[in-house]
Structure formats: structure tokens, C-alpha cells
Structure 1
Amino acid sequence: MNGDGTQDARGTQANPVPRPAGPPPMPAVPPRPDGSAFLTWLRTPRPEAAPGVWRFGHKPRSAQEPEEIPARQLIGGAVIALLVGWLIWSLLWNGYLGGWWLLPLDAMTTSWTDPNSYSRVVFGWAWYVVVALGIVIGMGRLGRWGEVWRRLVAPHLRRRESTPPPPPPEQDPAEWPALRAAGAVDAAERLAAEARTGLMRDVDHARIVRAWQGVRTGRFSLATFTGAVLKDGAAACLHPSGERDLPARLARHDLVTGQVRLGTTADDPRNPYSYRGTGLGLGPDLLGTSLVAVGPAGSGKTGSLARPLTESLCLQALAGRTAVVAVGAAGAGLGPADAFDVVVRIGNPDSVYDLDLYGGTGDPDEAAAILAEALVGDLDEVRRATTVLAQLLGPFRAVHGRFPGVPELRRLLDGDPGPLAELREALREQGQDSLLRELDARERQAGQPGDPGGALTDRIALLDRPAFAGFFDTSGQSRPFSLKALDHPVRVRVDLPERGHADASRMLARLVLAQFTASVTVREDRSLFACLVLDDATGVVTPEAVRGIQRLRSANAGVVLTLRTLDDVPRPLRGPLLGATGCRMALSGLTPWDGQDFAEVWGKEWTEARDVTDRQIIAETPAGKAVHMLRRVITGKAPTARAVTVRQVERERWSASELAHAVPPGHAVLSLTTVKGEHAPPLLVDLRN
């Protein structure tokens, strides 16, 4: 068994999922003396937590912030209580408060006339201890000694345990209790031994757990799974690439929960108390609602967000859980080429893979809709453009058995009589009368007012350039990649030729987004999470793109879009875009008008407002006037009486001004929504920690 059912080709396209040429090299696994580090990682608690909380080793906090006394006041009260207790004991011991506190002792020892008797001495010291304990307990409560210990002393004395206490065998994840319960004891023993000897990694664990889920769902048999584990151990059920890890990791990942740590929630009053100081972790449960991040250049969109998320998704793809497509300009820094199975370098003659212009479909109407969205989606002419393209793609495919390449499509849109005459003659010979009527309709509409053919011709001409001469080939001379392959755990990076071809890059980004939303919504197996990371979505957001994003949640898929400013999105689409995405991030350096859009979508909340009024106190008596004068000389202020009024008011969670001016560098404000509908309010997050 080489996969878990999501890793094998299903014949969804003419060309199968791209694989490395030749057998992939098996990575060397250096032997380790033991697997203590891996076992510690695996056994670390991961309690259920609120959305976005980094669960690895998380210690939940109370939902409400306790009323804490300032440290200086707390220490002062404790010292005063100690001095008062010592004073009381001294007065009692020296008899300054009289001998009444010894009356119980005298009452118990009246029958013992000898003051030096053993019983009298024992009862005497016991009574002293009772009185001393009473003073200590009373003064301890009064001076809050327990809180002093918990807040100021215990944290410095507490030692971190190097390893968590060993769990019972039936609950130890390193012993694979689920496999044992199902009768696969030999497989569980083999995996447990590999974990103890250091031959298992976090990706191996996640991949085998994914394969075991395939057994439970019936995709393949228990015998097949057990045979693969007994044969290969921790290397069982490998990804088609043969890789068991990425070449290098820049972020912290937890493949048990599927989270990647992006930073730390700031200890700020505007954050809920339960989130303050906790790690921020994102996983498929949040990315399944899609994410949009807005911030100027240098604010951390790529390095602090897109790159870690892409790295996490690639790791999960190696575990058979995820399919990922990362799109950005060449050199954008979304990860090294070795971290991907397919790297499409559009405009680079050294690129091994090409991009399928039609998304791997054989349906002319579907191909026309995808291509029209890519070419003129930003011009609000998609419906008419789809009709024009369908009128040409259908006849061409019927004659040639394939769709036209870029030069051929350009000549057809130009109305070149030569190619159109050849099509017409071939259709007559085949008796394709219905397709002949499509060509007749196209010829009648060409050049008429409102005909989108001219716009389509101008846009397709952007791809008919010498730099793209070897790309978008449909004759079978290249290795085109199609997003139909996203029902497999494939890792794809698409480099756009932004330098010198900005308009073409935006058009290609729209093409990838349109193909992604069209492909993932018709997958047979939706247990595999699919994600598109689009670094710099300028010019990509269209009405159809927003509608496509809204459909992704039910298809177990999501997109990550980064923007320099919301001005790169048409004004009528800014609200729908923020409403269609469940996770929204505003990075530092945001403009006030961008902040206004975020402030509106985050809404308002009820909060407690305090109005403080200072009223000067007027003394009536000479003594009072003298005291007031003395206070004014000492403090420099007139004596006042403070009145506090508390009321409930409704205010914005984050105002446009706060988003523009109160977010420190390296920080962001992020709101989250899970695929189950759980929400996290806007959180101030430090992306550098």
C-alpha cells in the first residue's frame, strides 16, 4: 500500500498527476539513539481551545480577567499585616494585653498543682501554637499572603518538567491504542518501536494516522494497511514524491492538530483575557473559511503569513491530508522548489511544467466560462464573453480533438477568415450542423455594439508574446498541469511573470483562482483539504471570484488572499469580499479608509465606560482650611472629591483610526471563524513572536 486512497490517480484528466521523473530518491533517515524528543512532542497535551489558540501545551485561562491588586500595593499590605501580627504576638507574650489569653490553659491544668509537670508544659506549648496559628491565619488572609506566594514567589520556584508524566499504556498515543483495539497489534508494536528508537517523525505519524482513517472509512482493508506497516515501519504509506519531510522549516508546526504558529496574542486590554499571551495557530479548520490579509509592502504578508501557511500545507500534503497551490511572483519567497511536487514557472523557458489554459476540462462550455473569467472578469463582461468563447471552442475541439492554443485562439477572435473557413469546411464534412450554427452566430455578432470579442482579443494578446511562446500548449508537446489534480495530496507552486508582464500576471492569477474554485467543488473525495495561497491578489477579486469563495467552505477548501490595500478591489466588492471570508487580517500600516472597511465588518460591542469627575472640597472651619492649605503645600493640588459614573455604551471593536495608528509594527489585528461557525473577536497579534 503506497497511499491512503487520496494519493493514487483516478483518471480525472488526460495527463495524470505530475510525478518526479524516475524513481524518487529515498531520504536517508539517520539513526538516533532514542526517540525521547519525538515521544515528548507526541505526548504533550493539546486541550480543546478557542479558535486560533495554539493548542500544543496550552494551559487554559479563565474567561474573565480577575481583579488583580497592583504588586506594590499587594507587597505593602502583606508587610503591614506581618508587622501587625508580630506586634500582637509580642504584646500577648509580654503580658501587655493581660493574662486573659492564658485562662483556657489555667482551666485545663487546675488539677495539676506542679507548674513544672510534663502535662502542663505540653498543654502550654500546644496552646501557644494554637494562638500563633490563629494570628498567622488571620493576618495571612488580611495581608493576602496566599496571593503574594502565587504571583510573586511560586513562579520563580517552579521548575519546568523536562518530560510530561507518562500516560497509561491504553492512553499513550505512542503505543497506538486505536490499532491495538482494532486487532492490528503487530503493526502497533512495530510503530511503537520505531517511535522509541527515533526513526519516526511528526510527518510519519500524521501520514500513518491519515492512512488509518482510510481503513476506518473503508477505502482499503486492514490487511493492506497492516502489511504496509510491517514492511516499511514509519516509512509506510509514503507520499508519491517519496519525501518524508521538507528540506527546511521556518515556522513551528504541530501536525497532530494541523496548526502552524504565526505569533502570540498580545497582552493588551483590547484582547479577551482568555487569549492574552497565548500562541496564535491556524489550521484547516480556520483556513476552510478562507482568509484575506491587507497591509502595505513590508508589513509581513508574505514572510509572516503566506510562507508559514504554505509550509504547513506542504507538510500536511506529505501526510496525505492536503492539496496546496501557492501562487506568487517569481522570487516571492513562498518556499524552495524542493518543497513542491510541481513548480510552474510561467515565462521561464527552463520550466518543466506548463499551465493548462482550460483547467483540464473537456467541456467547451466549462472551458469557456473559466477562460472568460480569467480574461475579462474584471470588466463585468463574463457572461457575454463566455458565449463568444463557447461559440469558438466547441467547433475547434470537434474538428481537432483539442482546444486551441493561444495563437490559434487569437486568430479566431480576430475573425481571421482563413481559420474560420477551415473550421467551417471541416464541420460540413463531419455533418456538425449545430456547431456550424455556432460559427454563424459568432460571425453575425462580430463587430456589433456591445460585442466582447474586441476585449477578449486584447486580453488574449497579452499571452501571445514571445516570453510565453512555449507555454499554454494544447498540442501535447509540453507537460501541462491542471488543477483537476487537487483530489490528490499534491504540492504546487506557480510563479507569475510579474516583472514586465503585470497585466498578464493578474490575468493568470484570475485563471488559477477560477480553475481552483471550479475544480474543488466537483471533487469526489472531499476529505482532502484543498487550499490556494495567492500572494498579492491585486486585480483578482471579481464578482464571480467572490461567489466562488463563498462555495469553498462546503467543499472542504479555502483560499488565502493578500492585498496591499483594499483599493485594489473594486469598491462594490470590498464588503462582499470581507463577508465571504471567515478570517480577516489587518496588518500594521493600514490606511484609515481601509481601516473603515474592517471596522464596519467587525461591527460594535457593548463596553463599560467610566466618567470620572473631580470636585474641589471647600472647608468651612478654620481647622479644615488649615488642613487643606497644608495638603496643597505638600501635594501641589487642591483637595478634591472624586465621583465615578459607570454606564454601558456601544463602540466599535476596532475603529478605523486605531487600525491605522494604534497597531504596532510587526503586529496585526485578526478575526477568525471556524468551519463549524465558532468565532473569535478581532485580536491584536504579535507576528514576530
Structure 2
Amino acid sequence: MDTDGTHDSRGTRANPVPRPAGPPPPMPSAAPFEAPSHASAASREWPAGAGGLPPAPEHAPSTGPTLRDWLRVPRVADAPGTWAYGHRPRPPEEPERTPTRQLVSGALISLLAGLLLWSLVWNGYLGGFWLWPLFVFTPDSWRGTMASVVAAYVYYALVVAGFLVVFGRLGRWAELARRALGRATGAAKETAAPPPGPEDDLAEWPELRAAGHGEIAARLASEVRAERMNDVDYARIRRAWHSVRADPSRLTAFTEAVRAGGAAACVHPSGKRDLPVRAARHDLLGRQVRLGTVQDGERNPYPRRGTGLALDPVLLGTSLLAVGPPGAGKTHALVRPVVESLSLQALAGQAAVIAVCAGGTQLGPDDAYDVVIRIGDPGSVYDLDLYGGTNDPDEAAAVLAEGLVGDLTDTDSRRATTALAQLLGPFRAAHGRLPGVPELRELLDGEPAALAALREALDSAGHHAMRRELDARERQSGASGDPGRALADRVALLDRPAFASFFDTSGRTRPFSLRTLEHPLRVRIDLPERGHGEASRMLARLVLAQFTANASARSDRSLFACLVLDDATRTLTAETLRGVQRLRSANAGAVLTLRTLDDVPEALHTALLGAVGCRMAFSGITTWDGKRFAEAWGTEWVETRDVTQRTVFADQPLTRAIHAFRKLVTGKAVTTDAVTVRKVERERWSASELAHSVPAGHAVLSLRTVRGEYAPPLLVDLRN
């Protein structure tokens, strides 16, 4: 079937594969999975610029739960961001908790009262009326026989049991016993659930059985039982089956792939079935990655306290902004887990991820990616397409202008787009390609030789319309407000010896284009932040502009596409923010991290916080940043209690004497408390609280789904 190389079979060895959803220690590599020589053409097909990557080694088995056990764990997500794996919902409000001391005293009093009443009854002080049921319900012929003795003892036992029930309830003995033993209510009544049948056991592939493909389901179920299938395999084959349901013409290819490959059917074009190492906890069945635990404290709603917090494409589709100082854990606690989760989903044919970071950032090993672009490194296998893979001069000019001068307040991006189009169009018409960096710099600088050569090429080819575009550029060059000089200065940052082998348009390199977002790619772009900081920020801005343009223009949006910027300093403009807002309707999203909101122009602060659906404030932010988050999160109605103490003045001599004695002993006058309960509106988190009350290793995170569901700001422990 036509799957763009994402659902075609490859051979595999029958060694065990990694356990799903277990702890994430590093796992050693085992023997590689080999691709058979008779692999189909589709399985060898790969997007332009991605290269023919060989299969990589897989893991040895780890000590987590088996896939069958993992699939049987219930998943309940009762609120956005809840870690659904094994989650047990909590009541909406915290139940009243009686102090243990009060429970003990109440139990003792009820026990003593019960013993006193029983002694009075047993010794006959209350008469013998309590024995009348024994005489009413037993025949007279039993009198003096063994039957009457047995009946009497049974009756006494029932009376004692009644006393225990009544006084036990009065003294709340059961609650005291549960608290003393540390067991939850009803824990003793829980019984093991019966094993599920094939119709509801995910390990038995009930969807395939219900569709009449019992043979294929049995083949896959045997792979699960033999532990030759991992969580990535399950998610990948399940995704392939859903594509078959959407397009029944793929059924034959799907069944053949499963018969031939088993757990390795429909493998990713790279041949990989897992990442070399996992640093976070993942649940591929729910497409979630766990970030931490919601703190069990008063700052969080009671139903969320102590529950796991996770991210998934439904949340990332609204985009996420994280702000925190250096060392707060943005890369370790957020960026890497998210990139890792999306990379696993890419191996399952569900997502495409582009991670942009400074060179040397720890976002996993190189073999965890399909494409690694090290800009400025002569040893880099891949190059970056400066124009985003388009051959349309106008489209290329719009994206390039945003990347080059979108952050300049004194340069109009629309005029910059026009200036670039007046050069890119004629060059494309004359040479059949777009210009490289040195050629574009010469044209923007107005080099007479370069302009004359381009003019001559246009005349010889008869492109008179393009000749007029070039003449217009020459006339506007140097005029007031002309963006040509700013564009030339920015292009000059890329026309350096370190980048001599990059951004080539002649076909000598292997350029990666963001037009490949329709494929389940894992891409990492390393920027030369050290020594070329200005160029790195410009390239990050260019990648963001290309991503927002290409993600929205995809014809096939079945894959979730996500761009992760480990440092979004000076990359955000008014136009890119509008592009970020459009991503949620294109099954795409962006993860942006900043050291401070001051890394973004002040005029864009409100637009930035409004463009993203998920906002995250790490420990250590300033009060100025906290003020912006507090305004974005708004206020809530809370119930407050005001307690006023008033001195009691006694009228009677005896009462005054008692009060005087009490004051002499305690040192305090006798007072009464007047309690006033009212509802007030206050900030969910104030700027001061965000700056000074968030512990180290924690963050405050609000979430919103693409469907509009909202979770209020939660204090999350990212270390757990």
C-alpha cells in the first residue's frame, strides 16, 4: 500500500524487545535488526534530504512490565494533563477529616458506655425484658433441654453483636482501625479483576478480530505472548490498521506485512523500532509523556493533588511556552522528555518532530534521530534548505524576509518581502534555481557585475517581465526606508567561512527541507550558538517561520508535527505568533522556551501569552515575568474566613471570679471568636508567589487542549 515508506515490513530477529512504560534506565544494545534484500520499494523510499539510513541496533530487554500487562493497565484521564496510566480519580472535594485524637477519645467513650450498659443488662439491673424474644420465638417444649441452652447462647451472641454494631458506629471504630492500619476505605473488599477475554483484551487485537481478520490478530497476539513486540511496535501496527480502515485498498499490503514481519511489520523507514535510550516515562497507547507529579498541597485543586502530570499532542497542539532562568530545568525536565516522546511517536508513524537547539545540548544521542544538521560543522551530513524547500520565489521571499529581518522594528517585513522577491524571481527565471548565500548577498549589495550578469541572462532567455522586476529593485535600492541594506547585513552573517558548505542551492549538498513534515521524521538542528550567536538566532527564527508556513500548508495532516525550540530568544515576531496560533487547526504545535519574557519585544508579551494554550513558569522567574503570567491566568473566586476575637465581660460575680482565675493561669483574657465567611476574587498566582514561593525543581503549569478543555495553573514537582 502507498504509505510513504512508513508502514512497510522489514525483517527482524526474534530476540526480546524493550518493556513498555517501565522505569527509564539506559539499556545496552543488542544485535541489529537486518533489512531483507527483498524489501519493497516503498520500504526503501525516504523523503528528499533525509538520506538512506540503515537499520540501527535495538535494545536488550529491560525489567519493566510485559506488553500484555502494560496493555491491561486501566487508563483514566479525568482532566487535561492527567497521567492516565493506572490513574485512579479522586473525589472532587476533600472529605472532612476528623482528628485522630478525637476519634480515639470517641471510641473509648463509646466502648465504656457499651460495657456499662451491657453490665447493667447482664446483671439484671434493667430487668429481664430483653429476654422476651427468646421466649417468643422458641417453643415451650424446649424448656430445660439442650436446645434451649443452644438457643440462649445464640441469642446472647446476637445481642452482643448488636451492641458492637451500635456502639462501634457511634464510636467510629472502623474509621479508627483503617487510619491506624494505614489502609484506604474498602481496601479489604477489593478483589482481583478476572482476566479479560479476547473481545476486550488489547493484547488479543480485538479490533482486528471484530473486522473478521482473526488470522492476523492471532499472529500479532502470538508476538505479544512471546515478548517479541514492544510498545512502539504495538502503537505502530495499530496506527497502520487505522490507516487501513480509512483506506481499505491498503488491506492486502497490511496483511502481507503482518504475515511476513509479525511485530516488525510496517516498520519505520529507518528500520528502528525503539530509541537507543529513554530518559522519561512514556505511554504510547495514550501518546503521553510524564513530566512530574502535581504537588499534594493547598495550592492545587484537591482532585489533582498527588496525580501524575503528562503532555500529549492534544495539549501540544495549542503550543507551549516555558519561562525560567538558566539552570531551572527547562531542557532536562521539559524539552528532552517532549522530544523523546515525539520521537517514539514518529517511530510509530504518528508524528514528526523538529528539535532546534544549541550545539552540545543534551537531547539524546545522534542515532535517536533520522536527520542531524550541525550548521557550521564541516562533518555534518545534512544541510539546511534556506528557502524551506519551495521553488516559488514569492513564497520563498516571504519566509526568508521573516527570518532575516522580522525582529527589526525599523524594517517593514512586507517591503523586505517585496525586495527579496524582486531578486529571487529574476534569478530563478535565469538559472532555474534560487540563489545561494554569496549570490544573494551580491545582489542585495547591488554589485554591478552580479546585476549585469543577471540582466544579461534574463535578456538572453527573453524574460522581459523579470527584467522589469530587477530594474525596479535597482531603482528602489538606496531610497529612504529601503530594506535592502538591512537584508544584506543579515545575509552577510551567513556568508562566513564557517558556513561555506551550507545553504547550497546547486545540488552539491544534501539539504533538509521542512516540506517533509508529511513524513514521520525525527530531526535535530544544532545551531552554532558559540561564536555565531546572532546567526544562530536568525536561523532559529527562519526555521520557525518555515515550520509555521509548511505545517499549515500540508495536504496530509494525519501526522502531528511539532517544532521544539530549546531557546526561542529573539525568534518571535508578530507574524510568527500569528503562525503559531494557526498551528492548532493544522494538527501541529510548537514548544518554546525562554530565560525571561524580556527576550521577546515588550510589545509582543501579551500576544505571546495569548497565542499559546499551555503556559509554564519555572522556579526562579522574576516578579516582572510573574506579573505577566498572573495577568494571563486571571482570577478566581475563593472562600475566606475572617476570625475576630472579642473579650468576654461577665456580669455575675462567680463568672468573673472564674474568668480571673483562668486569666491568671493562662495569661490570656477569656475571648469568643466571631467568624465571617465570604467569597472574594483573587489572582490564581500572584507575581510575588511565582517569584518567591515556587520551590526549586518545581514549575507552575496551565494547560489547554485543542478542544478547549482547560486546566488551571498547577504546581508540579518535576523531580518526581
**TM-score tier after normalising by the smaller chain length:** over 0.9
Match of 2:164 in 1: 136
Q: Give the equivalent residue in structure 1 for 2:701.
A: 670
| Paired position in structure 1 for 2:375 | 346
**Does residue 227 of structure 2 align to residue 192 of structure 1?**
no
Closer/same/farther in 2, CA of residues 297 and 327 from structure 1, 3 Å limit? same
Give the secondary structure class of the aligned counterpart of 2:643.
strand
Q: Cα distance, 1:122 vs. partner?
A: 3.4
The equivalent residue for 1:61 is 90
Aligned pairs, how many? 684
- 1:506 is aligned with what amino acid? R
Q: Which moved more, 1:620-629 or 1:504-513?
A: 620-629
Task: Go from structure 1 to structure 2 and tell me whether the alpha carbon gap of 1:433 and 1:604 turns closer, same or farther (over 3 Å shift).
Answer: same
The structure 2 residue matched to 1:623, chosen from 627, 633, 654, is 654
Matched residue SS, 1:620: coil
Q: Alignment partner for residue 273 of structure 1, among 285, 292, 302?
A: 302
Alignment of 1:636 with 2:667, yes or no, is: yes
Distance in 2 between the 1:675 and 1:462 partners? 39
Q: Deviation of residue 274 (structure 1)?
A: 1.2
Distance change >3 Å, CA 384–CA 35, structure 1 → 2:
closer
The structural deviation recorded for 1:60 is 1.0
Is the 1:602–1:653 Cα contact (8 Å) retained in structure 2?
yes
2:472 equivalent among 418, 441, 444: 441
Residue 349 of structure 1 aligns with an amino acid whose one-letter code is P
Matched, 1:683 2:711: no
SS in 2 for 1:462: helix
**Structure 1: gaps of 5 or more residues:** none
Aligned partner letter, 1:174: A
SS in structure 2 of the partner of residue 379 of structure 1: coil
Per-residue deviation, residues 581-638 of structure 1 (Å, max 9, x unmatched): 1110011111111111111111111111111111111222232223223433443322
2:536 corresponds in structure 1 to 505
- Counterpart amino acid of residue 327 in structure 2: G
Partner Cα distance (2:384, 2:142) in 1: 108
Kindly provide the amino acid, as one letter, of the partner of residue 360 in structure 1.
G
Q: Which of residues 174, 180, 185 is equivalent to 1:146?
A: 174
Aligned partner of residue 325 in structure 1, secondary structure: strand
Structure 1 residue identity aligned to 2:202: P
**1:381-530 → structure 2 map (5 Å cutoff):** 381-530=412-561
In the other structure, the counterpart of 1:532 is 563
Q: Measured at CA, do residues 453 and 204 of structure 1 come closer, stay the same or move farther in structure 2, by a change above 3 Å?
A: same
Per the alignment, residue 315 of structure 1 pairs with 344
Cα separation, partners in 2 of 1:456 and 1:167, compared to 1, 3 Å: same
Q: Deviation at 1:118? A: 3.0
SS in structure 2 at match of 1:101: helix
Q: Pick which of 235-244 and 268-277 moved more.
A: 268-277
Residue 524 of structure 1 deviates from its aligned partner by 1.2
AA matched with 1:499? R
1:328/1:536 contact within 8 Å kept: yes
Distance 1:30 1:106 in 2: 77
Match of 1:217 in 2: 246
Q: Distance in 2 between matches of 1:430 and 1:502?
A: 41
**Secondary structure of the residue that 1:132 maps to in structure 2?**
helix
Secondary structure at 1:244's aligned position in 2?
Answer: coil
- 2: CA distance, partners of 1:473 / 1:15: 21
Q: Secondary structure at the match of 1:155?
A: coil
Alpha-carbon distance in 1 for matches of 2:715, 2:59:
41
Structure 2 CA distance, aligned partners of 1:678 and 1:30? 40
SS in 1 for 2:406: helix
Contact map agreement 1:590 1:659 (CA 8 A) in 2: yes
What is the distance in 2 between the residues matched to 1:15 and 1:273? 49
Distance 1:536 1:87, change over 3 A: farther
Task: Output the aligned Cα RMSD.
Answer: 2.6
Matched, 1:658 2:658: no
Q: Which amino acid aligns with 1:300?
A: G
Matched, 1:289 2:322: no
Query: AA paired with 2:55?
Result: P
Moved more, 36-45 or 89-98: 89-98
Describe the shift of the 1:162–1:249 C-alpha distance in structure 2 as closer, same or farther (beyond 3 A).
farther
Q: Tell me by how many angstroms 1:465 deviates.
A: 1.2
Give how far 1:666 is off. Answer: 0.7
Q: TM-score, normalised by structure 2?
A: 0.90
Q: How far apart, CA to CA, are the structure 1 residues paired with 2:60 and 2:660?
A: 82
Alignment equivalent of 1:555, drawn from 586, 605, 622 = 586
1:47 partner amino acid: V
Helix, strand or coil: the match of 2:304? coil
Q: What is residue 244 of structure 1 aligned with on the other side?
A: 273
Q: Structure 1 residues 173, 409: CA separation in 2 closer, same or farther (over 3 Å shift)? A: same
Asked if 1 retains the 8 angstrom alpha-carbon contact of 2:384 and 2:512, the reply is yes
Q: Confirm or deny: 8 A CA contact 1:251 1:261 kept in the other structure.
A: yes
Percent identical residues: 64
Q: Which residue pairs with 1:608 in the alignment?
A: 639
CA contact (8 A) 1:316 1:322 kept: yes
Q: SS where residue 373 of structure 2 aligns?
A: strand
1:535-583 deviation per Cα after TM superposition (whole angstroms, max 9, x unaligned): 0100011001110001000100000000111111111211111111111
Q: Partner of 1:120 in structure 2?
A: 148
- The aligned amino acid for 2:711 is A
Q: CA deviation at 1:47?
A: 2.2
* Pair 1:204 & 2:236 matched: no
Counterpart CA distance in 1 for 2:647 and 2:151 is 60
8 Å CA contact 2:50, 2:512 repeated in 1: no
Deviation at 1:35, TM superposition (A): 11
What TM-score does the superposition give when structure 1 sets the normalisation length? 0.94
**333-342 or 256-265, which moves further after superposition?**
333-342
Q: For 1:204 and 1:81, how far apart are their aligned partners in 2?
A: 61
Tell me how far 1:46 sits from its aligned partner. Answer: 0.8
Distance 2:199 2:697 in 1: 44
Q: Which of 101, 104, 109 is residue 75 of structure 1 equivalent to? A: 104
CA 164–396 in structure 1, closer or farther in 2 if over 3 Å, else same: farther
Rounded to whole Å, the distance in 2 between the matches of 1:476 and 1:507 is 24
